Each structure stands twice: as structure tokens, then as C-alpha cells.
Amino acid sequence: MRYGNLTAVDEASFDVGAGETVALVGPNGAGKTSTVSAVLGLVRPAAGSVRVFNSDPVRDRARIARRWGVMPQTGGLPMGLRVGECVGLFAALYHNTIDPAALLEQCGLSEVADRRWRSVSVGQQQRLSLALALVGGSDLLLLDEPTAGLDVPGQGRVLELIRRRAGEGCAVLFTTHRLDEVERVADRVVIIGKGRVLADSSLAALTDAVPEIRIGGLRGSEMMRLDHDLGTSFAVTAGHDPIAVTMIPAGEDPSGLLQAVLCWCRDEGITATSVSVGSRSLVDVYAELLAE
């Protein structure tokens, strides 16, 4: 996708299936919102194609828009409307709607239903925006940073609503900068950087693909000896109690290396405070993909 001479998104290819929740993550300017804009048919890609419900979202927008609910990153409403009226208005635009009163309750907006939307808090406006996306009972939800500006209970409420809709068979694509949210609700994560898809995988596959051994309590010189003796490559994570971390190459059994580490510690008379084998965190995977 191009804006003048700027290529915002290049080679982004992924899909979202019914009942699936996909998180689109990436740093600022990576092309997340541009990608969502293309899915919504607001911009036409310079090359390639976007299909939503097997239709072109630019050409067939009027028809397929009845099947999606959208929470744009920014977006106001007609001035002077009350919160409840906004939800009622959007309910009237769809066929298969959720009861507006029930939705206001689920979104924690019942108490402000009679207040003008501009007069409620930013967090309440954000939840109203989600309510407008949900009220159509859509088959596809497109949510651009749905928890931005929300307090912790608000974030939990929004994530729960997303999870519930996905459980009812709705396809969900959401963008976020918060990887903890991805771990809480996403089935799959698409990591985008500089307009390209760097990873498109289930969370488990992404974090389990390269298991790691973590050893706590080693001094720097001890770690260098460990590296040398075992021919591994340990890195140190920051913190009061440095932890040496090494990745296990794909397909290798980590138990062999773990055994070697434990024997080495015993032979050298070194007491490690902790030794573990586990999945890598999404934060680490994300940081490494972007660094590459």
C-alpha cells in the first residue's frame, strides 16, 4: 500500500477465520492501521488483493459492511447525541442486532446512557466505540487498539467481550501494542514491521518453537566458562539477579543440554539459584523479530 512515494505496507498476507481471534502487532508506523484500512476498503492496495467474506471491500463495501463491526482508532459521533442514542442509531443500521440495553450493561455504560457522548470520560467513549462495533452482531470484528486509554478494569471488560464474541463464532482482528493482551485473548498473532509480516503463527507455535534454558545466579566469568566448555551461546537478561538464557535450536531435545549444564555446575562446584527449561516469552520473540 502506498501513500505517494511512501510504501506503508509491503507483502502483508494473512487471513482470519470464523471464531478465530487474531492480533496484529507491531511498532508505531509499522503499517497496522494501514492494513486495517485496506481490509475495510478505505484504501485500495497498489498491488495484491484484499478479500472480506470473499468480496472486494472497496467495491462491495455497502453489502459486507452489514456483516462487520468496526472500532476505528479515532472516530466521533454526531454532536449532541446521548450514549444510549448512539448505540440505538447503530443498532438500526444492522439486521442481526444485539439488544442495545443489554450491550450498554455489558460495556458498563448503563449509568451514562442518558449523557451526551462528548461529556463522558475517554475510557467510556472507548467502550462506547466498542459497543457500536458489537451492536450489529457481526460475523467479523475489526478493532483498532480497542483498549487504548482504558483503565485496568475497562481493559478486562473489553477483552472479555472480545473473547465472548469469538466464542460465538465471530472472527476478530485487533491491533494492539500490548503483548499481554495478545497472550490473553489471541489465538494467533501477526507481527508486522516496516510494512512486512514478520511472523504469522499461533502463540504456542511462536513461543514454543525455540525453547530455552534459563540459569540464575551465575557470575559473568562463570557464564563465559560455561559458554566455552559446552559450546553454547548464553545471553544475560537484565535484572537484580541476572539470568543466563540460551536458546535450544529447533528440533533438538533440550534435556541433553540441561543435563550437560547440571553436570557442569556440579563438576565446577557452582551453585545455580535456578535452572529451568521453558517457552520463550512473546515479548522476547517480538523484540528479536523486530531487531532482525
Binding residues (CB under 8 A) for other proteins: these are 40, 42, 62, 65-66, 68, 70, 72, 74-81, 85, 89-90, 92-94, 132, 136, 142
**Least distance to other proteins, CB of residue 132, Å:** 7
Identity of the residue, 96 or 281, whose beta carbon is nearer to other proteins in the bound complex: 96
**Least distance to other proteins, CB of residue 249, Å:** 45
Identity of the residue, 93 or 287, whose beta carbon is nearer to other proteins in the bound complex: 93
Identity of the residue, 141 or 215, whose beta carbon is nearer to other proteins in the bound complex: 141
**Least distance to other proteins, CB of residue 85, Å:** 7
Q: Nearest to residue 248, comparing CAs of 230, 263, 228?
A: 230
- Rounded Cα distance between 109 and 128, Å, is 7
- Sign of the CA dihedral 39, 41, 44, 48? positive
Residues 6+ apart with CB under 8 A from 287: none
Q: How far does CA 63 lie from the centroid of its chain?
A: 28
Q: Nearest to residue 108, comparing CAs of 83, 88, 91, 89?
A: 83
**Least distance to other proteins, CB of residue 129, Å:** 8
**Least distance to other proteins, CB of residue 173, Å:** 13
The dihedrals phi and psi of 164, each to the nearest 5 degrees, come to -65, -45
| CB environment 243-264: b (16+ within 10 A), e (fewer) | bbbbbbeeeeebeebbebbeeb
- Rounded Cα distance between 177 and 46, Å, is 27
Identity of the residue, 85 or 187, whose beta carbon is nearer to other proteins in the bound complex: 85
**Least distance to other proteins, CB of residue 81, Å:** 6
Q: Nearest to residue 242, comparing CAs of 268, 210, 273, 206?
A: 273
**Least distance to other proteins, CB of residue 100, Å:** 13
**Least distance to other proteins, CB of residue 53, Å:** 13
